[in-house]
Amino acid sequence: MSQNREQWGSKLGFILAASGSAVGIGNIWKYPHMAGQNGGAAFTLVYLACILVVGLSIVIAEFVIGRKTQLSPVGAFEQLAPSTNWKWVGFLGVASAFVILSFYGVVGGWVLKYVIVSITGGFNELAGDPDAAGKVFNTFITDTWSPIIYQVFFMAFCVWVIVNGVKGGIEKWSKIMMPLIVVLLAVLAVRGMTLPGGMKGISFLFNPRFEDLTANSIVLALGHSFFTVSLGMGTMITYGSYLNRKQNLLNSAVWVIALDTAIAMLAGIAIFTTVFALGANPAEGPGLIFVVLPSVFSQLAGGTLWGTMFFVLLFMAALTSAISILEVVTAYFIDQKGWSRKKATIQFGAVITVVGVFCSLSMGGGVNITEFLGMTFFDVMDYLSAKYMLPIGGMLTAIFILRKWGIPNFMAELKIGMEDTNISSGLVQIVLTIAAAVVAFIIFNEVYAEIFGKALIG
Ligand code: PFF
C-alpha cells in the first residue's frame, strides 16, 4: 500500500460517496417507469429480493477487495491473484467505465439543459401538452451541437470534482449533494401526495398487479439491481480502496443499499402522484421524465419552482454517479501507471467525452457509427454495459472469491471492523454462490435469446 494514498475523511463521507454513486439516473428515471409498467409493487418485491441477495453480497465483495488491497480494480485483482488472468476482470471494469460514461454523460447533458430551461420558465408554454413537450425534447436531442455543448459542460463538472481529490472533491460534494437530493425529493413527494388525486399514483406504484409481472419483468429487475447499485465494474472496489481498516463493511453496504432503494421509492412517489393528479399518462415509459414531467409541473401553482427542484436534484444524482464512473479510470492510471490525478482525469475525461459525442450524434443529429447493427451508438453502449458487462463483471467477482481468493481470506478481511457481529462463512459462501448462479443464468438467457431469437424465460 502506498503511503500517501488518499483516504476518505469520515465514515459518513464514505457512505454518502458510495450511495452517491448508486443513486443516479437509474433510480430517478429508470426505476419509476419500470415499476409502473411491470406490475407496480409486484415488480418492486422482485427487485427488493434481487437487491438483497445479489446486490448486497456483491457490494460487500467489492468493498472487501478494495479495502484489502488499497488498489483500484486492475491492481487489486493482480495483487490477490498475481500472474493470472484475473486482472482482466479489472480491465473489464475500466472498459465498462468508458462505455457507461460515454452515454451517461450525454444524458447528464440533457438534464443540465432541462435545469436551465426550467429555471428560465421555459416549461410554461408546455403546460398540459405532452405532445409539444415531446417535440421540444426530440428537436433538442437530435440537434447536432446543442446536446454536445451541454454534455461537455456536464463532463467538465465531473472532471473538476475529481481533480480536487477523494476527500476534497468526491467526498466534499457528495456530502453536500446527497442530503439535498433527499430533501428535494421528499418535498416533491409530499407536494405530490397532497395534490387532489395524487394518492392514485401511490396505489399505481405500490398495489401489486401480479398479472403485469412477466418473466421478462423478473429479468429486468435483476439487471437493474446491478446498474442501480453501480456493481460489476469495480466502482465499489475503487471506493473501498480509500477506506482504512476501521469501517464495518457489512453495515456500510446495508446503508448504501437502503439509501439507494429508499430514494428510488421516493422518486416513484414524487413522479406518479404528480402525474396522476394532473391526469397525464403514467405508462409513458422512458419519456416520463423529459416529456411528461415538463408538461405537468408547469400546470401546478409555482410550477417553475417544482420543475427546477426536480431537474436540479436529478442533475446532482447524475453527477455523483458519473464522478464514480470516471474515478475508476482515474484510479487505474494513478495506481498502475503512476500518473498524477489531474493528468489522468483531464485526459481520460476528454477521451470519454469524445466517445460520448458519437453517442449524442447517433440520436439523429450527425453520424451513427453503429448503423450497420440497426441500433444507435447510444443504445449499443447502454445495451452492452447493462446487459453484459456489468452482470459479467459482478459474476466474475463472486466467482473470484469463491474459487480463487477463497472464503477464509475473504472472511478474514470482512471481519476487520465488525468484531461484534457474528457472520458465518457458510452463509457467505451460499449467498455468493446463489448470486453467481443467478447472474450466470441471466447472461445465458440473454445469449440464448440472441442466438435463437427467443429467451428461455422472459
Ligand atoms: N448507479 C447509477 C444509477 O443508478 O444511475 C449508474 C452507475 C453508476 C452504474 C456507476 C455503474 C457505475 F459504476
For 45-68, the pLDDT digits (tens) are 999 999 998 999 999 999 999 999
Residue 208 DSSP symbol: B
Domain boundaries along the sequence of the chain: 11-452
Instruction: Record the cell numbers describing residue 221, joined without a space.
Output: 429487475
Length of the chain measured in residues: 458
pLDDT tens for residues 301-350?
888 999 999 999 999 999 999 999 999 999 999 999 999 999 999 999 99
φ, ψ at 208 (rounded to 5°): -70, 125
Find out whether the beta carbon of 100 lies less than 6 Å from any atom of ligand 1. Answer: yes
> Is the pLDDT at 363 greater than 70, yes or no?
yes
Q: Which class would CATH give 11-452?
A: mainly alpha
Find out whether the beta carbon of 321 lies less than 6 Å from any atom of ligand 1. Answer: yes
pLDDT tens for residues 397-435?
999 999 999 999 999 999 999 887 788 999 999 999 999
| Matching residue, cell 456536464 | 154
Alpha carbon distance 88, 94 (integer Å): 10
pLDDT tens for residues 278-305?
888 877 777 788 988 898 888 888 889 9
Q: Tell me how far the alpha carbon of residue 323 lies from the centroid of ligand 1, in angstroms.
A: 10
Alpha carbon nearest to ligand 1 atom 7, residue: 230
**H helices present in 168-209, as ranges:** 172-193, 199-206
| Angle subtended at Cα 296 by Cα 184 and Cα 225, rounded to the nearest 5 degrees | 55
Find out whether the beta carbon of 325 lies less than 6 Å from any atom of ligand 1. Answer: yes
Alpha carbon distance 75, 237 (integer Å): 11
| Angle subtended at Cα 194 by Cα 42 and Cα 277, rounded to the nearest 5 degrees | 65
pTM: 0.95
The number of the ligand 1 atom at minimal distance from the alpha carbon of 318 is 5
Burial label, 28 (beta-carbon count in 10 A; 0-12, 13-18, 19+): buried
| Matching residue, cell 466517445 | 355
Nearest alpha-carbon partner for 357 in 156, 190, 151, 202: 151
Residue 218 DSSP symbol: H
Alpha carbon nearest to ligand 1 atom 10, residue: 230
pLDDT tens for residues 185-210?
999 999 999 999 999 999 988 888 88
Find out whether the beta carbon of 228 lies less than 6 Å from any atom of ligand 1. Answer: yes
Check: CB of residue 63 under 8 Å from CB of residue 418. Answer: no
Alpha carbon distance 349, 373 (integer Å): 27
Q: Tell me how far the alpha carbon of residue 169 lies from the centroid of ligand 1, in angstroms.
A: 18
Q: Tell me how far the alpha carbon of residue 19 lies from the centroid of ligand 1, in angstroms.
A: 10
Alpha carbon distance 13, 31 (integer Å): 26
